[in-house]
Structure 1
């Protein structure tokens, strides 16, 4: 493994892990600010790309701009819907576990769109992941906290239990699950389209990162009222004094800035990793990142997590490793090592 790949792996684990921490801090203070978070992340990456990738408009794109349109649309909708789900009683641990089911969506799309055939082991691993997500989804519906949803006028419950006085609680939670499912399938479809685009036009990760975020910005006009509403909420949050500078900023804005910066570190590192490592390595790194983020979220933020949740989580991540054929490759590597030792 070269130094660039090693650095990318480190920054994926660091950037994505920190991003989840700051995301959870924000969600606890303002659960309905998903559109604002997404908009700021896209804006930062677009501005950064305009300066360092597009060189203030002097560098021509290697892929025709019109070919990015479909990719941008799917990418924008996926990102917005994933963050929007927090408005519907979806806790962060469930959100992370659910998105870990991307392999399921990829298999479904591969089978029905690309007409691919998969060995039994693939179906077994996907079955484990599916069961794991169902277990976590069901028990989260019983135990997840009913947080205040500004856009949905939900009930606040600080005891991390479902609010029985809110007859619409389960309905809004089901809407959140439906949104996550839609985003999961759309993300898989986007992956298929992206693979086809890169096959025809070549891989240009920095350019793709820049244009998918730049062209998505006009879409946020649809959510301008929500964005402005939660900017006001952020402005009204308690002040936080920046160390050394002796300058105070609203606390939510501090977390938003940190979230945006770490999101860029996370996603740009993933793009680099896809060009430096095999898909197996990328899968392993992303799986490890999700698992570490999940454990930290449960322990540090004291999110409700029962034995059933642990069982579901184990099924999701073991299934992911089986899907990536990690055990087979490890055993194959050990076998080759033993044979080489015998020859020596």
Structure 2
């Protein structure tokens, strides 16, 4: 493994992990700021792409504008809905576990649209992931409601019912985002087949062309910008500069988000699909553990069992265990060949 690949693995684990940490800091202070976070991320990547990818508009895109339009709509809706879900009582650990169900959505879309057929192993792995997500979802559904089962106060019971209702809306949003993301992946594959792979260009233009869509969320963005500006001030060490705490977390979330995306891109070009799957799965698992321990999010033995099914099913779907066995056989064969020679 070369130095670039090792660096990509390290920055993926660090960048994506820190991104989740800063996201949770933001959500703890202002759960409804999903649109502001998404807008900040899109704006940062668009500005960076304008400078580094399009060279201040001097480099013409290799993929036509019309081709990008459908991809932009799907990408914009997926990103907005995923961050919007935090406003509906969705805890960060459940959000991470639920988004790991993208393989289920990909399989459904593959069967419906591409008429694909899968092996029994794929169906078993997807069943494991589905069961794991269902367990984690059900265990995360009744926390506040259970607290009021023995209470006589109708106001408290109504609050618990309202909490559960909005939680259901949040689950529906996450499910919609999963299906949209899977459909986007299929469309992206068709674009690459016709025009070739240009991931940096696609990253730039999907974010740039999506920015006008935030006009529909301008009131929400402005409202949460004011909340961020009114948050507790924080003095940056070694520098005589004070910044509202929420703005600091948002800035760190945006920069680590870009580090995460760019690192995964390098990872896919420098490493095998087996390595990429292992690194991304490990990153999700470490982020989940950190979120539970550091932020003290409620997590029962059932959550552990469900998340274990999700991660094991993901590795099974990616044929990690099969490939690892094959690589061991190849190494053993190579050793025996060397001994004979």
Of 330, 333, 342, the match for 2:327: 333
Give the Cα–Cα distance (whole angstroms) in 2 for the partners of residues 10 and 33 of structure 1. 29
Give the Cα–Cα distance (whole angstroms) in 1 for the partners of residues 3 and 68 of structure 2. 31
Equivalence for 1:62? 62
Does residue 72 of structure 2 align to residue 72 of structure 1?
yes
Which ranges of 4 or more aligned residues in structure 1 deviate by more than 4 Å? none
How far does the alpha carbon of each residue in 1:209-250 deviate from its partner, in whole angstroms, 9 at most, with x for none? 100100000000000000000001001101101111121111
Of 280, 283, 293, the match for 1:286: 280
Equivalence for 1:262? 256
Give the Cα–Cα distance (whole angstroms) in 1 for the partners of residues 145 and 72 of structure 2. 34
Equivalence for 1:88? 88
Say if 1:89 and 1:145, in contact at 8 Å, map to a contact too: no
Give the Cα–Cα distance (whole angstroms) in 2 for the partners of residues 218 and 125 of structure 1. 40
Give the Cα–Cα distance (whole angstroms) in 2 for the partners of residues 144 and 12 of structure 1. 35
Normalization by structure 1: what TM-score?
0.92
Where 1:111 maps in the other structure, the secondary structure is helix
Of 307, 312, 319, the match for 2:313: 319
Of 161, 173, 180, the match for 1:179: 173
- Residue 285 of structure 1 and its aligned partner are, at CA, apart by 1.9
Where 1:141 maps in the other structure, the secondary structure is coil
- Residue 289 of structure 1 and its aligned partner are, at CA, apart by 1.0
In structure 2, the gaps of 5 or more residues are 147-155
In structure 1, the gaps of 5 or more residues are 147-162
Give the Cα–Cα distance (whole angstroms) in 1 for the partners of residues 52 and 223 of structure 2. 32
Give the Cα–Cα distance (whole angstroms) in 2 for the partners of residues 111 and 277 of structure 1. 28
Give the Cα–Cα distance (whole angstroms) in 1 for the partners of residues 116 and 252 of structure 2. 41
With over 3 angstroms needed to count, the CA separation of the structure-2 counterparts of 1:274 and 1:339, relative to structure 1, is: closer
Equivalence for 2:51? 51
Where 1:168 maps in the other structure, the secondary structure is helix
Where 1:60 maps in the other structure, the secondary structure is coil
Say if 1:71 and 1:190, in contact at 8 Å, map to a contact too: yes
Equivalence for 2:105? 105
Of Structure 1 and Structure 2, the greater helix share is in: 2
Q: Matches of residues 1-344 of structure 1 in structure 2 within 5 Å?
A: 1-143=1-143, 164-166=157-159, 167-343=161-337, 344=339
Normalization by structure 2: what TM-score?
0.93
More divergent stretch after superposition (127-136 vs 244-253): 244-253
Say if 1:234 and 1:252, in contact at 8 Å, map to a contact too: yes
Where 1:191 maps in the other structure, the secondary structure is helix
- Residue 17 of structure 1 and its aligned partner are, at CA, apart by 0.3
Give the Cα–Cα distance (whole angstroms) in 2 for the partners of residues 187 and 280 of structure 1. 22
Give the Cα–Cα distance (whole angstroms) in 2 for the partners of residues 293 and 83 of structure 1. 17
CA-atom RMSD, angstroms?
A: 1.6
